[in-house]
Homo-oligomer: A and B are copies of this chain.
Amino acid sequence: MPQGKVESVPQDGLTTRQRRNQPVLAVHTGPGKGKSTAAFGMAMRAWNQGFDIGVFQFVKSAKWKVGEEQTMLALNELHERTGAGGPVEWHKMGQGWSWLRRTDDAEQDHAEAARDGWREIARRLSVEQHRFYVLDEFTYPLKWGWIDVDEVVETLVHRPGNQHVVITGRDAPQALMDAADLVTEMTKVKHPMDAGRKGQRGIEW
């Protein structure tokens, strides 16, 4: 229940409004559930404000995010039909990034595909294409050395305008967390899979 109270007021010469409207870089990390789910929940809020939303899924198999994707695309359709909320684009590495129009996914090199994704995001950030970005499971290509962490941090820190970015995934690199405004760690306390239960429709996807 945040009440809008700040713990300290910085001597940065900015008004509360100027400070409030600074773009946010958020990281959801840790071994628990809810990292991506909370990012998509944030996207719901952004949609309601009419923000242009871009989602980029850095996973090979996208089957676990079908529910969020379908719902966000339903919100995009609602926007196109009625003007409510904002537009939503949803791009998946697992299916060879829509802007590349690749047909043979099997031949794709995963590291190269991840770099393709990041290059496109960096390009979009430079032209302020979206107002709210979800880089889902983006920590993994960073962790695996496929994408250079310093370059990512540099690009994010110097992104122009007022573009919000949420990055999800376990083991976020320290340099990324240092650069972020908001870092939340999701800790697994108890999970149904521990009790031998598999994921189910409407809960896990």
**Interface residues, chain A, with chain B CB atoms under 8 Å away:** 1-2, 4-10, 12, 16, 19-22, 24, 28-30, 32-34, 36-42, 44-49, 51, 59, 64, 66-68, 70-72, 74-75, 77-78, 84-85, 131-132, 137, 140, 164, 177, 180-205
Contact, CB under 8 Å: A190 / B202: no
Distance of A164 from chain B, by nearest CB (Å)? 6
Measured in the bound complex, the distance between the Cα atoms of B199 and A164 in whole Å is: 13
Once bound together, how far apart are the Cα atoms of A88 and B137, in whole Å?
29
Q: Is the CB of A198 within 8 A of B16?
A: yes
Query: In the complex, are the beta carbons of A85 and B71 less than 8 A apart?
Result: yes
Would you call A46 and B189 a contact (CB within 8 A)?
Answer: no
List 8 extra interface pairs beyond A177-B190, A187-B187, CB under 8 A: A19-B196, A45-B71, A48-B74, A49-B201, A49-B202, A51-B202, A71-B75, A184-B186
Check A68–B41 contact: CB distance below 8 A.
yes
B78 touches A203 (CB 8 A): no
Q: Pick 12 A–B contacts, CB within 8 A, sort by A.
A: A2-B204, A4-B199, A20-B199, A20-B200, A22-B197, A33-B184, A37-B45, A41-B41, A47-B67, A48-B71, A177-B189, A182-B192
A33 to chain B, nearest CB (A): 5
Q: A71-B85, A74-B84, A190-B177 are in contact. Are A196 and B8 (CB under 8 A)?
A: yes
Do A191 and B182 touch (CB < 8 A)?
A: yes
Number of copies: 2
Per the bound structure, the CA–CA distance linking A109 and B31 in Å amounts to 40
Instruction: Tell me whether A48 and B64 are in contact (CB under 8 A).
Output: no
Are A8 and B181 in touch, CB under 8 angstroms?
A: no
- Docked-complex contact A186 and B183, CB < 8 angstroms: no
Are the CB atoms of B45 and A67 closer together than 8 Å? yes
Once the chains bind, are B197 and A20 in contact (CB under 8 Å)?
yes
User: Inside 8 A of A44's CB, which chain B residues have their CB?
Assistant: 40-41, 44, 67-68, 71-72
- Whether the Cβ atoms of A24 and B185 lie closer than 8 Å is no
